[in-house]
A and B are shown apart, each in its own frame.
Chain A
């Protein structure tokens, strides 16, 4: 009986740590990116043409859900510029490649690597402030459209 009582706080602590980890992972889905992906650098870093190409690709493939310039108003939340700024280019590339299928963000592996890097170059220039239409302060693809 005594050992059961002692076990309750331990189990509670375990659950709390697990839940906190899950929330953090949802907030920054690229936290699951392996170290190798995290460390990758963008071959198009700071190239104005790549940023423009990325903006075009964002308008084509992402804006219908994330809104123009990532400001929200679509199927998915606005792109959180602070979270994107804190992520490494490798993290963002990994996230675009894998998506977050359980939570509605599709995998963009159908786009060649070069175009995903161009998207990353554009995302790094984003400066979104939450618009009145934004449904959540989450990162790109965090919420389910279902």
Chain B
């Protein structure tokens, strides 16, 4: 009994200390005007010193098994003006099956060119430690298909995968439009072959100029677009056959409070794809995170 009371006190104290730390150390929020993409990357990086926290659930229809809700939590940090690093934690819950944590991803994006060009390249490197039950579909590669998600979690959770995912991101801004193309190459360290995939995104704010006054529902706070993504086979069987492809509609909304919301209904384009995938996401940026950390650990402000 005494031990339980002591534990409760320590837990509550830790909660209060964490809340006080956040209020003191992370004073500023900002809006980064994110693109409404879920799968495609543009050349926009996180501002240096800023931390973006985001959650992105995925709801998918499944033939031959229960529909599922998967998702990831993302902590993205602007390490430098030309380097962004992010940590992803993912999980899923399948109807008539179970709910489980599916793995960790550590992503890094680098801008090799320091100025804007017509086409802006970004190099992407990600290390993944996930299990076979992972269903978040952040990138479709190889011969990924709906059937992979039909197996029971009890079987797939035992398959541990260590993977390297690389992307070449090319992105252009023209007259308010952003067009981004991603070529994905993924390697499971335990297997020989490389798997390939692609993502193409097109988006634009609904209004290009800002209004003089603060507003919530005005067109400048919304952006819309399209996203096309899917697999490209392996290095031995490269192509668009025997893999899945999706076309998603995109809508993003940047609220004056600093929160970003986005949604994307996507439709499978062939028999190997889920018929319907609904993604939505919520993000919040702490602009002064790096400064707060330095302050907390006695560094210069």
Contacts and interface: CB of A to CB of B under 8 A. Distances in A.
Nearest to B47: A106
Contacts of A50: 212
A120 to B, nearest CB: 13
A10 B44 CA distance: 44
B173 A104 contact: no
A101 B80 contact: yes
B81 A60 contact: no
Contacts of B212: 49-50, 52-53, 56
B81 A103 contact: yes
15 contacts: A53-B210, A56-B212, A61-B31, A61-B32, A65-B287, A75-B48, A105-B81, A106-B78, A110-B173, A110-B178, A112-B208, A112-B209, A113-B175, A118-B209, A118-B210
B173 A109 contact: yes
A133 to B, nearest CB: 9
Contacts, number: 109
A142 to B, nearest CB: 12
B236 interface: no
A63 B175 CA distance: 26
Nearest to B215: A56
A98 B115 contact: yes
Interface in B200-251: 205, 208-214, 220
Name the residue in B47, B114, B205, B208 with the highest tally of chain A Cβ atoms < 10 Å from its Cβ.
Answer: B47
Interface residues on A, range: 35 or more
A10 to B, nearest CB: 31
B59 interface: no
A146 B80 contact: yes
Contact of A113 (B49, B176, B178, B213): B176
Given A104-B81, A113-B176, A145 B291 contact: yes
A100 to B, nearest CB: 7
Interface of B: 28-33, 35, 42-45, 47-49, 78-82, 111, 114-116, 173, 175-176, 178, 205, 208-214, 220, 287-288, 290-291, 301
A58 B72 CA distance: 32
Given A54-B210, A110-B178, A113-B208, 6 more contacts: A53-B211, A61-B31, A107-B44, A109-B44, A112-B176, A115-B220
A1 B79 CA distance: 49
A64 B288 contact: yes
B30 A106 contact: no
B35 A145 contact: no
A106 B290 contact: no
A57 B33 CA distance: 11
Nearest to B209: A114
A101 B110 CA distance: 11
A144 B35 CA distance: 26
A53 B209 CA distance: 8
A97 interface: yes
Given A64-B28, A75-B287, A106 B48 contact: yes
B209 A115 contact: yes
B208 to A, nearest CB: 4
A61 B213 CA distance: 15
Interface in A50-101: 50, 52-54, 56-57, 60-61, 63-65, 74-75, 97-101
Contacts of B290: 75, 145-146
The 6 closest A-B pairs by CB, nearest first: A101-B81, A64-B287, A52-B212, A64-B28, A114-B209, A112-B208
Contact of B114 (A75, A102, A111, A115): A102
B58 to A, nearest CB: 25
A57 B210 contact: yes
